[in-house]
Chain A
């Protein structure tokens, strides 16, 4: 069964269907059903995935544009699979959370949900593409639905934020396009298939140039410091649901691209640029965290925490050890859930009070304990409290990076402390203390909102205690990636064998 095409096909057909439904309420329910069907299908696919089987599974390959050597080729390895799972889990949650988002602006509700489903298809496609050109097409095309979601349904500064988001990403994408074309020409294989292109570029100088073309695009997308300035604007202005998908999934395309394309296609260049990337990542971790502390707008604050977290992910990717790589992949998933939860609950608050500013709140936990409690759990996950899922991945990244780069790891650890400050201080200002006059009548989470938050909290806790199912899938794929980059994990400083001799 062509699983991946089915997933995309169902989403696209659903998107078309939504535009045909005349009734807004029906359109929402229809979208929810479609996204749940996609989720069910993905789960059905995922259970058939054998972690120790072929690297790429559920593979489909058709010629798309033979003249350019372009294929419609999709398949998943462990890394792509968990990211697709992340996407399809988030979409129904976002649909449910955005139930009233599109109504505020008196704009077309159907268009919003239709764009959501189009975006879902593209998110699946971008992670599943095994043809570099197809990846590029999804990479660029998925900007358009997000652009309209921010620009049409966002906050006051929405059109500025939408244009900034689009132009930054487009510019990065166009640089990548040059690299994609050059990769094709220089490889001279007449094909864009990823598997055929791995290892074809041997010349190190060429690799460096092509690496930069890809890397800048991904660094803007992820975003790494100093390419991050669009993210706080876009995330703060986007409606909460779109912000979740933007930060939770779209940005992961950047870090996923680094792991999949930058490392495997240009291994020598990747090693050459590792010190630079690690420096940027560490700066991003600390800078993002410090700036987050200073934010007065909670959505911007969450966006800056993400800049910090993306630093960790990039650090893990470029540390090139199994632990760090697997940790970074796991981090991508966990960050999607924890930041998703933060954005959504913040969105519920903003919907109730009509303000994004932290100063407008105070003592919310007295009037809305469930809201405050779930916000706290999501926040604690974001600051990597042991027992919640982000801790596992952050610990893996740090310990994996420590095997090779001690000083950067030590500096990055500061980010963990700063995370406690920005989360807990935000919580303190908003939820503790005397209840502010304006929030006295704030209702607690209703049933729909509980259904939104419950699965996210459950996932955070489950994967906090038992990340094995994910790691079982991720580990072989990461090992495989590192093998094709031809790096091996450094030996422990004190070999185990010596202990035995004593």
Chain B
């Protein structure tokens, strides 16, 4: 021991997108602390949007400049092709979700006031607003960026918490149906805390096995360490539970419908798109890089989980009467389809690349459509807020054909009808799976798709083929932000459905190098 400690090297340029988002979040907190109330919103919005756009530009610049082949920050964060692609996706989706949030109607004036109390009344009169949502959201987005790029399990855990904690809070801030919203927040928090604990426990056990939390070193240890298999298997299983929870894979899906239903819709949109993308990125990295040598063991388990997830998602969605719950189950089913891509690893690099690029494409396609669908939901309102009950949507096609048409289009994309983005997403994943010998899984996948098509189509039937109720919901004139979100999402769904090649190329290029080790 010579007593000197080498100073760690941090590649600031590589991490710039992360730093920008976190920096803006901290500035946002300062704004909350020092800026006068009436100015806050006016500062937050441009700050948030600019920081997300800036981070996106930096990520693109990084991708153009050349993708690094080594992990950054002393091996803690891997800024590689897939990570940059996922960053880009999350940043765009977050940007779009912020445009929805801008319409502050969705958030409660004073979250601490008991629902129905005099304080609540008072906060309404004062037109109080929680402008904290912007910095909270930025922290969550920062966590989403770090999570899929984390190259060791500890950083992954930190990222997981940074991503989740603000979301727990944001879930409870809905302006209407507040009890439901608070229930969602508590549920999400309790279950999320459990899953984080699982993740951390798994990390500890794997550390006990491999002597490191670094993913690459764990993978090396798989071949060399003997006699510690109990630690390894229990550790890997617990890690898996933590990750699968975030995706909402069955049997860890129970939180999703409640949370999606209770949260303010813009937050649901962010969770359904951004969080899912981030969680899949992390899942891929942990299973492909960290536990890549163990694939003979985890593959059958994920096989089962994928089947269960698709079937549970598709079947339970049929029984839903709340549109947001239905989309939550649909999101569970899509998680199952995406898991097929995780399993579709092959013997050769090219096969893995095709599976990875398929997954990346699917995530982009699904993310845009989801944000668009939730944006439409924010616009269909009853006296008491959004028209959540499905029966209220009857005859919407006659009252406002354009909006209903766009929503129907999103639903068809979810169902995976050709000439929509959803079709190519599914196709890319299924193709990779068939090429790698998972044909039975794909057959179950298409059966689940057929079941899922039923409840998407049912909404279309309601909107277009049923007669409108006399006191049906009104469609609010969208704010410019909401209109832009719906427009962007619809455009992305069309373009990715007709000319998917550019994005496929991009995903392929990103996947080319696979994950750095």
Contacts and interface: CB of A to CB of B under 8 A. Distances in A.
A175 B454 contact: no
A171 B419 contact: no
Contacts of A65: 424, 500-501, 504
B458 to A, nearest CB: 7
Contacts of B442: 178, 181
B450 A170 contact: yes
A148 interface: yes
Interface in B370-401: 398, 401
Given A178-B434, A178-B442, A185-B434, A148 B464 contact: yes
A437 to B, nearest CB: 33
Contact of B417 (A66, A140, A152): A140
A107 to B, nearest CB: 8
Q: Assign chain B's interface to a size class.
A: 35 or more
B466 interface: yes
B457 interface: yes
SS class, residues of chain B in contact with chain A: helix
B465 A158 contact: yes
Given A66-B501, A67-B504, A171 B431 contact: no
A182 B447 CA distance: 16
Quick one: which of B428, B454, B464 has the most chain A CB within 10 A? Answer: B464
Contacts of A166: 453, 457
B450 A162 contact: no
A136 B457 contact: no
A185 B431 contact: yes
A65 B446 CA distance: 22
Contacts of B464: 148, 151-152
Interface residues of A, number: 34
A406 interface: no
Contact of A167 (B446, B454, B465): B454
A185 B508 CA distance: 18
Nearest to A65: B501
Interface string A129-169: 00000001110110110011001100000110011001100
A162 B461 contact: yes
A148 B457 CA distance: 11
Contacts of B418: 136-138, 140-141
A181 B340 CA distance: 15
A163 B458 contact: yes
Given A170-B450, A185-B434, A144 B417 contact: yes
B233 interface: no
Interface string A179-190: 001101100000
A71 to B, nearest CB: 12
B439 interface: yes
Contacts of A177: 427, 430, 446
B505 A67 contact: yes
A249 B318 CA distance: 32
B443 interface: yes
Interface in A49-75: 64-68
Interface string A68-109: 100000000000000000000000000000000000000110
Contact of A108 (B401, B415, B447, B465): B401
Given A162-B461, A178-B446, A141 B419 contact: yes
A182 B437 CA distance: 10
B412 interface: yes
A377 interface: no
Contacts of A170: 415, 417, 450, 453
Contacts of A175: 443, 446
B97 interface: no
A317 B87 CA distance: 54
A10 interface: no
A174 interface: yes
Contacts of B443: 175, 178
Q: Give the top 3 A-B pairs by smallest Cβ distance, nearest first.
A: A174-B446, A159-B465, A137-B418
Interface of A: 64-68, 107-108, 136-138, 140-141, 143-144, 147-148, 151-152, 158-159, 162-163, 166-167, 170-171, 174-175, 177-178, 181-182, 184-185
27 contacts: A64-B501, A66-B501, A67-B501, A67-B505, A68-B427, A68-B428, A68-B431, A107-B398, A136-B418, A137-B419, A140-B417, A140-B418, A144-B417, A147-B457, A148-B464, A151-B461, A152-B465, A163-B454, A163-B457, A171-B450, A174-B449, A174-B450, A177-B446, A181-B427, A181-B434, A181-B442, A182-B434
